[in-house]
C-alpha cells in the first residue's frame, strides 16, 4: 500500500493476523513497504485495541512510514492467554516475535499508557530493536510525585472492570476521565466501546492481564530501570491527564539519558485524539530528524 492510498484505509483492508511466539496476534498495517517502520501500541482501557487508539492517526503515518497498529495480547482480536510472567515483559516478547515474523529488524515505537509500558520494556530488553521511542502518558515509566494513587482514571477503570454487569453509564464515566473535553465522549463512542468491553472474550483477556499485574507487581515498576534506556525518547503528556498525571513525567525525564518532554495544554490522556494535528506533526518530526 502506497502513501497515496492512505486516505482509503479502513479497519478491514488494513487488518492482518500473524502467528508469533505461539500466539495469534492481530494488527493493522499500512504504508510503503520500504519506509521506516512505526509500531503503535495502544492503552489498556476496557474495549481498547490498536484501531480504537490510533485508527484516526493511521492515514497521516501511513503516508510516511510502514505503520503497524498492534492489538496487544489479551486485547482486540489478538489471543487472550494467561501470561506466564509480568504483563509488560510478556507483551514485549510477543511484539518482538511479531517483528521477527514480519521481517522487521528495527522500528520506531509509539506507546500509549499500557502500550507505553510495553514499548519501554522492549527498549530495555531488546534495545537493538528500537530506533526512537515516543511515550504518551505511559504506564510503568511514570511515578506520581504530587497526585494520589490510584488516580481518578484508574478508579473509574476498576469500577467498570470489577462490575459483574458494567453499564454504559460506567463506560461513559470512565471514557470521560480520558479526555479534557467531555464532548469527545459521544453516544456512538460509548456504545462501541461498551460492546467491545462486555464481549466475553474481551472480559477474559482483561481478567488475565489484570491477574498478571497482581501476580508480578514489581514488573510494572519500569521507572526503576529508566536509566538503562539508550535510545532517544520523547515523553508526551496531556496537561489534564487524569489517568497518569503529568507530574509522573518528571522522574522519567530526569532518569532517561536522552529524553525530552512535550506537554499538550487542554488535553487529557488521549493526546493522539485531542491534539491530533500537533501530535502527528510532533511524532513525525521526532522520527524523521
Catalytic residue among 108, 194, 269, 289: 269
Distances (CA, A) of 4 to 1, 7, 174, 269: 8, 7, 37, 30
Whether the CB-CB separation of 211 and 254 falls below 8 Å is answered with no
CA dist., res. 106 & res. 95, Å (int): 12
Based on the residue annotation, tell me whether 108 is a catalytic residue of this protein: no
Whether the CB-CB separation of 52 and 196 falls below 8 Å is answered with yes
Distances (CA, A) of 110 to 39, 40, 160, 278: 6, 5, 26, 15
CA dist., res. 7 & res. 214, Å (int): 42
Closest to 280 in 3D by CA, of 81, 1, 6: 6
Closest to 197 in 3D by CA, of 178, 176, 179, 170: 170
CA distance between the termini of the chain: 24
Whether the CB-CB separation of 23 and 243 falls below 8 Å is answered with no
Give the burial class of 165: count Cβ atoms within 10 A of its Cβ; 0-12 exposed, 13-18 middle, 19 or more buried.
exposed
Angle of CA points 172, 173, 177, to nearest 5°: 110
Helix (H) or strand (E) holding 208: helix 200-215
Residues that are catalytic: 269
Amino acid at each position: 500500500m502506497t502513501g497515496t492510498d492512505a486516505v482509503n484505509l479502513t479497519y478491514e483492508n488494513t487488518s492482518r493476523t500473524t502467528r508469533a511466539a505461539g500466539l495469534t496476534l492481530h494488527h493493522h498495517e499500512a504504508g510503503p513497504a520500504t519506509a521506516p517502520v512505526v509500531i503503535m501500541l495502544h492503552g489498556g482501557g476496557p474495549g481498547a485495541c490498536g484501531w480504537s487508539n490510533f485508527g484516526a492517526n493511521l492515514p497521516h503515518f501511513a503516508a510516511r512510514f510502514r505503520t503497524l497498529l498492534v492489538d496487544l495480547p489479551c486485547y482486540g482480536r489478538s489471543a487472550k492467554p494467561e501470561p506466564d510472567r509480568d504483563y509488560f515483559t510478556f507483551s514485549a516478547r510477543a511484539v518482538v516475535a511479531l517483528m521477527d515474523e514480519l521481517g522487521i529488524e528495527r522500528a520506531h515505537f509509539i506507546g500509549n499508557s499500557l502500550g507505553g509500558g510495553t514499548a519501554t520494556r522492549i527498549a530495555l530488553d531488546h534495545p537493538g530493536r528500537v530506533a526512537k521511542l515516543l511515550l504518551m502518558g505511559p504506564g510503568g515509566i511514570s511515578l506520581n510525585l504530587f497526585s494520589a494513587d490510584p488516580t481518578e482514571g484508574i478508579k473509574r477503570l476498576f469500577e467498570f472492570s470489577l462490575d459483574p454487569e458494567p453499564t454504559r453509564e460506567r463506560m461513559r464515566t470512565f471514557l470521560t476521565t480520558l479526555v479534557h473535553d467531555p464532548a469527545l465522549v459521544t453516544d456512538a463512542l460509548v456504545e462501541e466501546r461498551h460492546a467491545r468491553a462486555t464481549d466475553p472474550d474481551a472480559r477474559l483477556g482483561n481478567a488475565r492481564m489484570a491477574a498478571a499485574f497482581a501476580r508480578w507487581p514489581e514488573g510494572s515498576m519500569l521507572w526503576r530501570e529508566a536509566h538503562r534506556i539508550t535510545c532517544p525518547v520523547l515523553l508526551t503528556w496531556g496537561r489534564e491527564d487524569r489517568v497518569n498525571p503529568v507530574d509522573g513525567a518528571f522522574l522519567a525525564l530526569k532518569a532517561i539519558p536522552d529524553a525530552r518532554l512535550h506537554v499538550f495544554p487542554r488535553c487529557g490522556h488521549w493526546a493522539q485524539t485531542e491534539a491530533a494535528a500537533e501530535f502527528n506533526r510532533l511524532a513525525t518530526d521526532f522520527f524523521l530528524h
